[in-house]
Structure 1
Amino acid sequence: MGAIIPGFATSQSQGKMKAVCVMSGSAGVKGVVNFTQDTTDGPVHIHGEFSGLKPGKHGFHVHEFGDTTNGCTSAGAHFNPTNQEHGAPNDSIRHVGDLGNVVATDDGKGVYDATDKLISLSGPHSIIGRTMVIHENEDDLGRGGHDLSKVTGNAGGRVACGVIGLAAD
């Protein structure tokens, strides 16, 4: 696991970039998420490991602000620079920050492992300096029919968060 480097590192902007997010919450939920992008215009591999979750699915999103001064609530809405409706990670219409769900087992542990083509570690879709959030409930991926489905995935409260920072090799 790498250390967080404040700001943007120009030496990483030409090739492989890495970022990390250490997440925590008031209910004992913890996690570490690592991001790797081999080229500036390539997909981002995301690997996260979590503990302290209730069993089941939990919405997992990048939120617009890197602000946790009031816990996870000051992170703002989902990162959505293209002004789209909420959706699933593989949908053509979705927020940039929509990453689906983390699935927790009966022991409260969860693993998220995916590659995403919309988020980036540089440029206009950069997630550096933004906040990762795990939600209390399942993200319905915009298909739940609830008033919040097309906005938040109706995923409920925020149980853990952390700011995404560039990581050393």
Structure 2
Amino acid sequence: MKKAVAVFDQTSSGQGPVAGSETSDVGGTVTFSQKENDVLTHVQGSIQGLEPGAHALIVHEFGDIRMGSNSTGGPFKPAAKDGVIANITANHRGKAIFDLNEKIPLSEKDSVIGRGLVVHEKPSPDSGDGVGWCIIGLEG
């Protein structure tokens, strides 16, 4: 089984106090697991610090979060539906919990490992700015 994890750290770009870096109040964890020879990946997550309502969860091209979501590039089209994993919904306390299966490669040339994961202010297709960002990494 292949596994990956993305951790939103509720602090900053992940680089500490860097000139020009963006900050975020979003925190949480998203896990990815894919059985051998399976096309679908199981995605589970809990993300807090969001405004209540719907938000797009999108894989972006680059794992560069030095400038927040601005340095992650555009949606990574080979993942899910043109990079969009799902529209997730935060409750009245700003927490979104989700459990789904999507076509998200964890290996080969189209792997999402090392790419950016961004929670956007609005749902797709007009998702607006990123409000939380992190890097998808191998799970140990």
The bucket for the TM-score relative to the shorter chain is 0.7 to 0.9
- In structure 2, the partner of 1:23 is 8
1:28 CA drift (Å): 1.0
Distance in 2, matches of 1:53 and 1:125, equals 29
1:121 alignment counterpart: 106
Alignment partners' CA distance in 2, 1:112 and 1:127: 19
CA distance in 2, matches of 1:57, 1:31: 16
- Which amino acid is the alignment partner of residue 68 of structure 2? G
* 1:143-169 CA distance string (max 9 Å, x none): xxxxxxxxxx1111100010000011x
**How many angstroms apart in 2 are the aligned matches of 1:123 and 1:41?**
13
**1:156 alignment partner in structure 2:** 128
**1:106 match: secondary structure:** coil
Q: CA 1:39–1:58 in 2, change beyond 3 Å: closer, same or farther?
A: same
Indicate the structure with greater strand content.
Answer: 2
- Residues 59 and 135 in structure 1, CA contact (< 8 A), matched pair in contact too: yes
Task: State the 1:81 CA deviation.
Answer: 4.3
Gaps of at least 5 residues in structure 2 are 11-22
1:1-169 alignment runs, 5 A limit: 16-24=1-9, 26-81=23-78, 94-95=81-82, 97-116=83-102, 118-139=103-124, 153-168=125-140
TM-score normalised by length of structure 1 = 0.71
Identity %: 38
Q: What RMSD, in angstroms, separates the aligned Cα atoms of the two structures? A: 1.6
State the alpha-carbon separation in 1 of the partners of residues 119 and 76 from structure 2. Answer: 14
Once the two structures are superposed, what CA deviation does each residue of 1:69-100 show, in whole Å capped at 9, x if it has no partner? 11111000000249xxxxxx6xxxx41x2112
Count the aligned residue pairs: 128
The ranges of structure 1 where at least 4 consecutive aligned residues each deviate by more than 2 angstroms after the TM superposition are 24-27
Instruction: Give the letter for the 2:135 counterpart.
Output: V
AA of the residue aligned to 2:75: H
For 2:50 and 2:35, how far apart are their aligned partners in 1? 31
Task: Provide the TM-score with structure 2 as the length reference.
Answer: 0.84
Q: Which runs of 5+ in 1 are unaligned?
A: 1-15, 83-88, 140-152
- Distance 1:40-1:161 versus aligned 2 partners, 3 A rule: farther
